[in-house]
Amino acid sequence: MLIPKIEEIVKKRGYMKKFVAEQIDMSPQQFNNLIKGKNFTTTEKLFKLAKFLDVRVDDLYEYNEED
């Protein structure tokens, strides 16, 4: 199971979620759903997000195996 770490990274960087959404051409609602793990996005947008936040793409999510 993938657990998004995006919100944690955004907070550490001191950004507002709406600002980050604008930087990667997403609506605030789409970005909020991405943060909550309700939706996924294109690989291109994940790379754009990672570059903006100065992290690697695999830093955006944590993988936990379900029991």
- Tens-digit pLDDT profile for residues 30-64: 999 999 989 889 999 999 999 999 999 999 999 88
| pTM score over 0.85 | yes
Q: What integer pLDDT is reported at residue 2 of this predicted model?
A: 83
Q: Enumerate residues 6+ apart whose C-beta is below 8 A from 4.
A: 34, 35, 36, 37, 60, 61
Per-residue pLDDT tens for 2-22? 889 999 999 999 999 999 999
Instruction: Classify domain 2-63 at the CATH class level.
Output: mainly alpha
For 59, phi then psi, to 5°, come to -75, -15
